[in-house]
Chain A
Amino acid sequence: MSADVTKAEHTPGEPVAGVAEGAPATPSAAHAGGPPVGGVAAARQGGLAGFLSSPAGRSAGLVIALVLLVVVGIVTAGDRFASPDNALTILRLGATIGVVSVGMTFVISGGGIDLSVGAIVALSSVWATTVATQTMAANYHWVVMVFAAVAVGAACGLVNGVLVAYGRIAPFIVTLAMLAAARGLAELIAKRRTQIVRERGFIDFFGGSVLGIPVLVIMFAVVAAIGWVLLNRTTFGRRTLAIGGNPEAARLAGIRVQRQTMYLYILLGIACGIAAVMIMARTTTGTSTHGQLYELDAIAAVVIGGTLLSGGRGTVVGTVLGVLIFTTLSNVFTLNNLDTSTQAVAKGAIIVAAVLLQQRVSRTRST
Chain B
Amino acid sequence: MTNVVKRFPGVVALGGVDLDVLPGEVHCLLGQNGAGKSTLIKVLAGVHEADEGTIEWSGEEVTLHHPQAAMDLGVATMYQELDLVEGLTVAENIFLGHEPTRFGLSQRTAARRSAAALLGRLGHPEISPSVEVGTLSAASCQIVSMARALSRDARLIIMDEPSAVLDAGEVDQLFRVIREVTAQGVAVVYISHRLEEIREIGDRVTVLKDGRTVATGLDAKTTPTQDLIRLMTGRSIEYVFPPKPEVATDAEPVLRVEGLARTGEFDAVSFDVRPGEVVGLAGLVGSGRSEIVETIFGARRATTGTVRVGGKTVRPGSVAAAVAAGIGLCPEERKSQALVLGASLASNITLATLPRFSRGGLLDGSAEVEAAEELLESLDVRPRGVHRESRTLSGGNQQKVVLARWLLRGCKVLLLDEPTRGVDVGARSEIYALIRRLTDEGVAVVVVSSEIPEVLGLANRVLVLADRTVRHEGPADELDEHAVLDIILKGDAA
Name A residues whose Cβ lies closer than 8 Å to a Cβ of B. Answer: 33-35, 37, 40-41, 44, 229, 233-239, 241-242, 245-246, 248-256, 308, 312-313, 365-366
| Contact B355–A249 (Cβ < 8 Å) | no
Looking at the complex, which one of A37, A236, A250 makes contact with B351 (CB distance below 8 Å)? A250
Q: Is B340's CB within 8 Å of the partner chain A?
A: yes
Q: Find the A residue at minimum CB distance from B364.
A: A233
Q: Which residue of B lies closest to A234 (CB)?
A: B361
Residues on B with C-beta less than 8 A from A256 are: 320
Is there contact, CB below 8 Å, between A35 and B351?
Answer: no
* Distance (whole angstroms) from the CB of B295 to the closest CB of chain A: 13
Choose from B331, B337, B357, B387 the contact partner of A35 (Cβ within 8 Å): B387
Central interface residue in A236, A241, A245, A313, by most chain B CB within 10 Å: A245
> Among A35, A44, A251, A366, which residue has its beta carbon within 8 angstroms of that of B319?
A251
Are A242's CB and B387's CB within 8 A? Answer: no
Are A246 and B336 neighbours in the complex by a CB distance under 8 Å? yes
Inter-chain contact B338/A234, CB cutoff 8 Å: no
Quick one: which of A254, A256, A313 has the most chain B CB within 10 A? Answer: A254
18 contacts between A and B (CB under 8 A): A35-B369, A44-B385, A236-B361, A238-B351, A241-B343, A245-B340, A245-B343, A246-B339, A246-B341, A248-B337, A249-B336, A249-B340, A250-B351, A253-B405, A254-B324, A256-B320, A312-B340, A312-B342
Q: Which residues of A contact B137 (CB under 8 A)?
A: none
Contact (Cβ within 8 A) B339 A249: yes
**Which residues of A have CB within 8 Å of B389?**
365
Contact of A235 with B358 at beta-carbon distance under 8 Å, contacts A35-B369, A250-B351 already known? yes
| Complex interface: chain A residues within 8 A of B344 (CB) | 37
User: A252 to B338, Cβ gap below 8 A?
Assistant: yes
The answer to whether A40 and B352 have CB atoms under 8 Å apart is no
- A247 → chain B, closest Cβ, in Å? 9
B96 adjacent to chain A (CB < 8 Å): no
In whole angstroms, how far apart are the Cα atoms of A123 and B210 in the complex? 65
Interface of A is mostly: helix
Q: How far apart sit A235 and B366, CA to CA, in the bound complex (Å)?
A: 14
Are A254 and B339 in contact, with the CB atoms below 8 A? no
Q: Give the distance in Å from the alpha carbon of A245 to the alpha carbon of B340 in the complex.
A: 6
Count chain A CB atoms within 10 A of each CB in B329, B358, B363, B389 and give the residue with the most: B363
Check if B299 is an interface residue, CB within 8 A of chain A.
yes
Interface residue tally on B, bucketed by range:
35 or more
Besides A35-B387, A312-B340, 7 more A-B contacts (Cβ < 8 Å) are A35-B365, A37-B387, A238-B354, A238-B363, A249-B340, A250-B340, A254-B319
- The answer to whether residues A40 and B387 also contact, given A35-B369, A235-B361, A253-B351 and a CB cut-off of 8 A, is yes
Q: State the CA gap A312–B389 with chains docked (Å).
A: 12
Q: Within the assembled complex, what's the spacing in Å between the Cα atoms of A250 and B387? A: 19
Residues of A within 8 A of B385 (CB): 40, 44
Q: Which residues of B contact A239 (CB under 8 A)?
A: 354
How close is B214's CB to chain A, nearest CB, in angstroms?
36
Q: Does B251 contact A (CB under 8 A)?
A: no
Q: Which 7 A-B pairs have the closest CB atoms?
A: A254-B323, A245-B340, A235-B354, A253-B351, A253-B352, A246-B340, A235-B358
A44 to B369, CA, bound (A): 18
Complex CA distance for A329 and B336, rounded to whole angstroms: 41
Contact A312 B354 (CB under 8 A): no
- Measured between beta carbons, the chain B residues less than 8 angstroms from A35 are 365-366, 369, 387
Query: Could you say which residues of chain A place their CB within 8 Å of the CB of B352?
Result: 253-255
- Give the residues from 227 to 274 in chain B that come closer than 8 angstroms, CB to CB, to chain A: none
Q: How far is the CB of B411 from the nearest CB of chain A, in Å?
A: 11
Confirm or deny: B347 has a beta carbon within 8 angstroms of a beta carbon on chain A.
yes
Give the residues in chain A near B361, CB-CB below 8 Å: 234-236
Least Cβ distance of B232 to chain A in Å? 32
In whole angstroms, what is the CA distance A237 to B365 when docked?
12
- Residues B362 and A252 in contact, CB atoms below 8 Å apart: no
In this complex, the member of B322, B337, B339, B351 whose beta carbon has the largest number of chain A beta carbons within 10 angstroms is B351
Task: Establish whether residues B297 and A233, one from each chain, have CB atoms under 8 Å apart when the complex forms.
Answer: no
Contact status B363-A235, CB under 8 Å: yes
> Which residues of B sit under 8 angstroms from A250, Cβ to Cβ?
340, 351
Report the minimum CB–CB distance from B333 to chain A (whole Å).
8
Give Cα A238–Cα B344 distance, bound, in whole angstroms. Answer: 11
C-alpha gap A37/B341 in the complex (Å): 17
Name the CB-closest residue of A to B361: A234
Question: For the complex, what is the distance from the CA of A365 to the CA of B342, rounded to whole Å?
Answer: 10
Q: B residues within 8 A CB of A44?
A: 385
Min C-beta distance of A318 to chain B, whole Å? 16
List A contacts of B347 (CB < 8 A).
238, 241-242
Q: Known contacts A35-B366, A251-B299, A252-B297: does B320 contact A242 (CB below 8 Å)?
A: no
| B363 and A252 form a contact (CB under 8 A) | no
User: When the two chains form their complex, are residues A252 and B337 in contact, meaning their CB atoms are under 8 A apart?
Assistant: yes
A234 touches B342 (CB 8 A): no
Look across to chain B and name the residue whose beta carbon is closest to the beta carbon of A243. B340
The yes or no answer to B471 lying at the interface (CB within 8 A) is no
Give Cα A245 to B362, complex, Å.
21
Contact A255 to B351, CB < 8 A, known contacts A250-B340, A313-B342: yes
Could you tell me the distance between the alpha carbons of A246 and B350 in the complex, rounded to whole angstroms?
15
B contact residues around A253 at 8 Å (CB): 323, 338, 351-352, 405
- The residue that B366 contacts in the complex, of A33, A236, A251, A366, with Cβ under 8 A, is A33
Q: Judge if B65 is at the interface, Cβ distance under 8 Å.
A: no
> Which of B324, B351, B362, B405 touches A229 (beta carbons < 8 Å)?
B362
Which B residues are CB-close (under 8 A) to A255? 320, 351-352
Contact A34–B299 (Cβ < 8 Å): no
**Nearest residue, chain A, Cβ from B347:** A238
**Is the beta-carbon distance between A248 and B336 smaller than 8 angstroms?**
yes
| Cβ of A208 to closest chain B Cβ, rounded Å | 31
**Distance A44 CA – B384 CA, assembled complex (angstroms):** 12
Query: Which of B357, B365, B391 is packed against the most chain A CB atoms within 10 Å?
Result: B365
Residue ID in chain A nearest B391 by CB atoms? A366
Chain B residues with Cβ under 8 A from A33's Cβ? Answer: 365-366
Contacts of B351 in A (CB 8 A): 238, 242, 249-250, 253, 255
Q: How far is the CB of B116 from chain A (nearest CB, A)?
A: 35
Give CA–CA (A241, B389) in the complex, Å: 14
Task: Across the interface, name the chain A residue whose C-beta is closest to B333.
Answer: A248
| B338–A249 touching, CB < 8 Å | yes
In the complex, what's the smallest C-beta–C-beta distance from B317 to chain A, in angstroms?
A: 12
- Complex alpha-carbon distance, A35 and B362, angstroms: 15
A40–B344 Cα distance when bound, in Å, is 12
Closest to A34 in B: B365
A245:B387 contact, CB within 8 angstroms: no
- Which residues of chain A come closer than 8 Å to B357, judged between CB atoms? 235
CB 8 Å contact bits of B202-246 with A (1 = contact, 0 = none): 000000000000000000000000000000000000000000000
List B contacts of A236 (CB < 8 A): 361
Please determine whether A252 and B340 come into contact, CB atoms closer than 8 angstroms: no
Give Cα A34–Cα B364 distance, bound, in whole angstroms.
9
**A229 CA / B324 CA spacing, docked (Å):** 27
Closest Cβ–Cβ distance, residue A264 to chain B (whole Å): 16
Contacting B365 at CB < 8 Å: which of A40, A233, A245? A233
